[in-house]
Structure 1
Amino acid sequence: MEKYDYEELVNSTQSFSPTRLIGRGSHGSVYKGVLKDNKLVAIKKPTRSPEALHDKSKVDNEIRVLSSLRENPHVINLLGTSQDSANGKLLVMEFMPNGSLHDLLHVSTAPPTWPKRVEIATQIARAVRFLHEGLPLVIHRDIKSANILFDSNWNSKLADFGLAVLQLDSPSQVSQPAGTIGYLDPCYTTPSKLSTKNDVFSFGVVLLEIISGRKAIDMSRAPSSIVEWAIPLIKDQVRISEICDPRIALPTFMEPTIRHMLCIAARCVSSNEDQVRPSVAEIITLMENPLIHERVRFPIWTSLLQRMVLLSRRRKLASRLQARSCAATKQGDHHVHSHLSSGTLLLKEVLADVTHK
């Protein structure tokens, strides 16, 4: 990890000019910097406030956690650090030019397409799996749309590790439960309740946010919580379409995928964290099944009749998957896992049927 000269960072940000400010949080501000070699970087500077000591601990923690990780395509990359005259530490991160998922969903006038939403959700899940399966294991504790950033190719990366916890830390070393209201797991009430399932809950909220285009907490709506609003609609299979972002039409070929993802989200935010909430590895197995969200493609020589037959079979498959996957939420949380599993098996059976006919 490189040690940067503080004066170089000052010059690279035009003395931390407001025109170079690209983000601000409770623990600090992030500036766009242009280094001597014209390399673009993001420089995270701690907030100077009565809580400066607290902020300093967040910066130290972020450095410690990110330094423990090997490079991953879906986790923000820490390039190095610096230190100002008051011994305050600054983080130099890779520059993410396309903003956050929060801005893409709630600020941008061009909402993402449905295939892009599936891609984003899958990339986030991969990032969380990387943390949960690492040595040492890392629990992020603040997974939310504002902490998911996009690089120049619009690939998503998980950022802001100020609240993250290494598995090496014992519960006595971990502070009180922390996170962001709306994304924070209600089961995480004491340090001893810290687990990877807390991140799974937060991921489930982000998944609902991606599909609905609605904020995790929106005080202008009733109920204000996206979880309280969405779960009853998911349980009522007929009303699932009401959850989908109304700004962009949902293509027929994407309907099975989105319904499947909503059922996964319902498991993630279940209050039954031990038996119903899946691990991130299981989530990815379900989400990355190529049969779930593969767009229908036809060779040029395929006749119209063949297309109609295949589409009909896929529609029947979607209906059967919906019945098996989502009916579980009507019957109780403990049935969800079995329905999802049977839905995946059914999918393979139908594909075999389509392939051989």
Structure 2
Amino acid sequence: MNVPCNMQPTTKSDVYTFGVVLFELFTGRPAILRDPEPTGVTRWARQHMARGNIEGVVDPRMHGDYDVDSVWKAAEIALKCTEQASTQRPAMTDVVAQLQECLELEEGRTGGYENTSFYTGSGSGSSSNDPNLGYNAYASDGQSIDVS
């Protein structure tokens, strides 16, 4: 997609970018795939999803350890975020609410956070409302990774 240099980012372009990142997260693939020819992960995922093939879209390293309904919902959110017409993209508050529903589906499957192997939270135990705080990801081995 060619974007003129004088265009400024908007909340709707941020939503589009978030949709691409969401696709990258659950597919385990980069934004641009290079086999056999360069194509975007959004186009690749749309093609697979159009055939009803969510298992072919999800990162194989997940080994099927996910709620299929949750993944479909996350994929549909990513699709909405990456609509060509910016007016068709949801507001970020709607995206967050829908992702919360995905999380609830996963929590229902796993019994909550304590059984998951990855948790994100505020870095120093201070209020997560402070925009100056980074976020840490905690892998199952307890190692902290700054993801700010």
Q: Please, what TM-score do these two structures have when normalized by structure 1?
A: 0.28
Task: Give the whole-Å Cα distance in 2 for the aligned partners of 1:187 and 1:260.
Answer: 29
Q: Tell whether the 8 Å contact from 1:205 to 1:226 is kept in structure 2 after alignment.
A: yes
Task: Give the whole-Å Cα distance in 2 for the aligned partners of 1:297 and 1:216.
Answer: 29
Counterpart of 1:228 in 2: which secondary structure?
helix
In the TM superposition, residue 231 of structure 1 has moved relative to its aligned partner by 1.1
Within 5 Å, give how 1:212-223 maps onto structure 2.
Answer: 212-223=27-38
Within 5 Å, give how 1:340-351 maps onto structure 2.
Answer: none
Within 5 Å, give how 1:275-290 maps onto structure 2.
Answer: 276-289=88-101
Paired letter, 2:82: V
Residue 261 (structure 1) aligns with:
74
Aligned residues: 110
- Which runs of structure 1 show a deviation greater than 2 angstroms over 4 or more consecutive aligned residues? 186-194, 218-224, 289-298
Task: Give the whole-Å Cα distance in 2 for the aligned partners of 1:192 and 1:225.
Answer: 22
Task: Give the whole-Å Cα distance in 1 for the aligned partners of 2:60 and 2:109.
Answer: 23
Residue 120 (structure 2) aligns with:
none
Q: Tell whether the 8 Å contact from 2:15 to 2:82 is kept in structure 1 after alignment.
A: yes
Residue 245 (structure 1) aligns with:
59
Shift in CA distance, 272/201, structure 1 to aligned 2, threshold 3 Å: same
Q: Tell whether the 8 Å contact from 1:209 to 1:216 is kept in structure 2 after alignment.
A: yes
Task: Give the whole-Å Cα distance in 1 for the aligned partners of 2:35 and 2:27.
Answer: 16
Paired letter, 2:57: I
Q: Mark the runs of 5 or more structure 2 residues left unpaired by the alignment.
A: 112-148
Shift in CA distance, 297/194, structure 1 to aligned 2, threshold 3 Å: closer
Within 5 Å, give how 1:172-251 maps onto structure 2.
Answer: 186=1, 188-189=3-4, 191-192=6-7, 194-236=9-51, 238-251=52-65
Paired letter, 1:191: N
Q: Tell whether the 8 Å contact from 1:223 to 1:229 is kept in structure 2 after alignment.
A: no
Q: Please, what TM-score do these two structures have when normalized by structure 2?
A: 0.64
Task: Give the whole-Å Cα distance in 2 for the aligned partners of 1:246 and 1:235.
Answer: 19
Residue 296 (structure 1) aligns with:
109
Within 5 Å, give how 1:17-36 maps onto structure 2.
Answer: none
Task: Give the whole-Å Cα distance in 2 for the aligned partners of 1:216 and 1:296.
Answer: 29
> Which has more radius of gyration?
1
Shift in CA distance, 270/284, structure 1 to aligned 2, threshold 3 Å: same
Shift in CA distance, 262/187, structure 1 to aligned 2, threshold 3 Å: farther
Task: Give the whole-Å Cα distance in 2 for the aligned partners of 1:196 and 1:225.
Answer: 21
Task: Give the whole-Å Cα distance in 1 for the aligned partners of 2:3 and 2:79.
Answer: 18
In the TM superposition, residue 295 of structure 1 has moved relative to its aligned partner by 2.9
Task: Give the whole-Å Cα distance in 1 for the aligned partners of 2:6 and 2:32.
Answer: 24
Q: Tell whether the 8 Å contact from 2:23 to 2:78 is kept in structure 1 after alignment.
A: yes
Counterpart of 1:278 in 2: which secondary structure?
coil
Paired letter, 1:283: V
In the TM superposition, residue 228 of structure 1 has moved relative to its aligned partner by 1.6
1:33-68, CA deviations, whole angstroms, 9 ceiling, x for partnerless residues?
xxxxxxxxxxxxxxxxxxxxxxxxxxxxxxxxxxxx
Q: Tell whether the 8 Å contact from 1:205 to 1:227 is kept in structure 2 after alignment.
A: yes
Q: Mark the runs of 5 or more structure 1 residues left unpaired by the alignment.
A: 1-185, 299-357
**Higher RCO, 1 or 2 (CA under 8 Å, sep at least 6)?**
2
